[in-house]
Amino acid sequence: MEPIQSKKETAKKTILDSNFDEAITILTALLKENPDDTDLKSYLAIALAQTGNFNESLEIFTELVKISEKEAHHFNYGLILALTKDYSNSIKILNEILEKNPKNLLAWKNLGELYSRIGDDHKANICKMNSRLKE
What single letter denotes the amino acid at residue 106? L
Domain ranges of the chain: 1-80, 85-135
| The listed CATH number (3.40.50.1970, 3.20.20.370, 1.25.40.10, 1.10.3720.10) that belongs to domain 1-80 | 1.25.40.10
Query: Which fold, 85-135?
Result: 1.25.40
The pLDDT score that the predictor gives to residue 72 is: 94
pLDDT of residue 101: 95
pLDDT tens per residue across span 84-100: 999 999 999 999 999 99
Contact 20, 50 (CB under 8 A): yes
| pLDDT at res. 82 | 96
Mean of all residue pLDDT scores within the chain: 93
Residue percentage of the chain with pLDDT more than 70: 97
Per-residue pLDDT at 134: 58
Give the chain's residues under pLDDT 50. Answer: none
Global pTM? 0.87
> Contact at 8 Å (CB) between 30 and 8?
yes
Residue-wise DSSP of 70-84: -HHHHHHHHHHHHHT
Would 1-80 and 85-135 be classified into the same CATH topology? yes
Q: How far apart are CA 53 and CA 51, in angstroms?
A: 6
pLDDT for the residue numbered 87:
97
What pLDDT was estimated at residue 133?
Answer: 76
Q: In angstroms, rounded to a whole number, what is the distance separating the alpha carbons of residues 127 and 125? A: 5
Contact (CB, 8 A) for 77 and 67 = no
